């Protein structure tokens, strides 16, 4: 069974950093690009960042460019999102999602259950 399990969320003060992780299982991790998508409380979905199968191609939403860094460790079947200079507007549920190809972005399937990030003093 394909599974994506996010971790690392929590309450953090504005300006601080946080690192999210996504543990993948049930598929050949390095066959696929991966993404982070967030959803603010009661709001819609926002693509945050994506990474190709080998980490050579990175993409970021304008809202996080220069503050967030996506990476992956194929040996450990893991995806990461390093978030720095966090702002209250970064408060959201963060989902890890698998692309359907190695380069992306294609459609996303499946998605993890998400981890909550709250930025507040």
Q: How far is the CB of 6 from another protein (least distance, A)?
A: 10
Q: How far is the CB of 88 from another protein (least distance, A)?
A: 21
- Its sign, for the CA torsion 12, 97, 73, 65, is negative
Angle (CA) 69 119 6, round 5°: 55
Q: Closer CB to another protein, residue 16 or residue 107?
A: 107
**Binding region for another protein (CB under 8 A):** 35, 37, 44-47, 50, 59, 61-62, 95, 100, 105-114
Contact 2, 113 (CB under 8 A): no
> What are the backbone dihedrals phi and psi of residue 120, each rounded to the nearest 5 degrees, phi first?
-160, 150
Q: Closer CB to another protein, residue 18 or residue 104?
A: 104
Q: How far is the CB of 1 from another protein (least distance, A)?
A: 13
Q: Closer CB to another protein, residue 56 or residue 62?
A: 62
Residue 19 CB neighbours (<10 A):
13
């Amino acid at each position: 069974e394909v599974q994506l399990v996010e971790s690392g969320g929590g309450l953090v003060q504005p300006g601080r950093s946080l690192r999210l992780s996504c543990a993948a299982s049930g598929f050949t991790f390095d066959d696929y690009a991966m993404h982070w998508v967030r959803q603010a409380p009661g709001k819609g979905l926002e693509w945050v960042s994506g990474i190709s199968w080998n980490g050579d191609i990175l993409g970021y939403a304008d809202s996080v460019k220069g503050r967030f860094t996506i990476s992956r460790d194929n040996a450990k079947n893991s995806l990461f999102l390093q978030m720095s200079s966090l702002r209250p507007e970064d408060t959201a549920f963060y989902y890890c999602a698998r692309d359907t190809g190695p380069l992306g972005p294609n459609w996303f399937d499946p998605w993890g259950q998400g981890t909550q990030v709250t930025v507040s003093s």
